């Protein structure tokens, strides 16, 4: 189930990136990967609460490790950060790291908060 979820998540991340490229055009800033990480973190936060309250924790390997693990990608995050660093754009690299981490944690917190409001 993890591998199946991972295949779906990775495919969705690819499609997300392709859609972003079509919508925004080429960009030096890796916005598609950052937004995938934020969205995936939000969904993970929401799933944690819903799964616990609805008895769906058995889906965690498929959803959290596979699907959302495949969709969010901190390996690509690391690569994009180093690409910015190697280009000499240290400010953009710092901004990318701060926004990616801060917004992803914020997305997870928002997902937890909203999901708890729904199931509580």
Q: Which two tokens stand for residue 36?
A: 């995938």
**Annotated binding residue at 72?**
yes
Look up the pTM and report it: 0.82
pLDDT at position 73? 82
Domain residue extents for the chain: 2-119
pLDDT at position 94? 98
- Please give the Cα distance from 115 to 120 (Å, whole number): 8
pLDDT at position 108? 95
pLDDT at position 74? 85
- Please give the Cα distance from 51 to 48 (Å, whole number): 5
- Please give the Cα distance from 115 to 110 (Å, whole number): 8
**Annotated binding residue at 94?**
no
pLDDT at position 79? 85
Q: What DSSP string describes 29-83?
A: S-HHHHHHHHHHHHHHHHHHHHHHHHT-GGGHIIIIIIIIHHHS-HHHHHHHHHH
pLDDT at position 106? 97
pLDDT at position 84? 96
- Please give the Cα distance from 86 to 76 (Å, whole number): 15
Please work out, in degrees rounded to the nearest 5, the angle formed at the alpha carbon of residue 36 by the alpha carbons of 88 and 49: 135
pLDDT at position 75? 82
Average pLDDT across each block of 10 residues of the chain; the chain has 120 residues. List them in order. 97 96 92 93 94 96 95 88 96 97 96 91
- Please give the Cα distance from 63 to 49 (Å, whole number): 13
């Amino acid at each position: 189930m993890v591998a199946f979820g991972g295949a779906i998540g990775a495919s969705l991340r690819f499609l997300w990136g392709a859609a972003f490229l079509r919508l925004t055009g080429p960009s030096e800033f890796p916005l598609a990967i950052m937004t995938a990480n934020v969205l995936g973190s939000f969904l993970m936060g929401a799933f944690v609460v819903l799964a616990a309250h609805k008895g769906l924790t058995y889906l965690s390997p498929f959803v959290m490790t596979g699907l959302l693990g495949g969709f969010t990608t901190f390996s690509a995050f690391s690569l994009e950060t180093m690409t910015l660093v190697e280009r000499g754009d240290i400010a953009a690299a710092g901004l990318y790291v701060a926004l990616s981490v801060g917004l992803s944690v914020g997305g997870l917190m928002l997902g937890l908060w909203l999901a708890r409001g729904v199931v509580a």
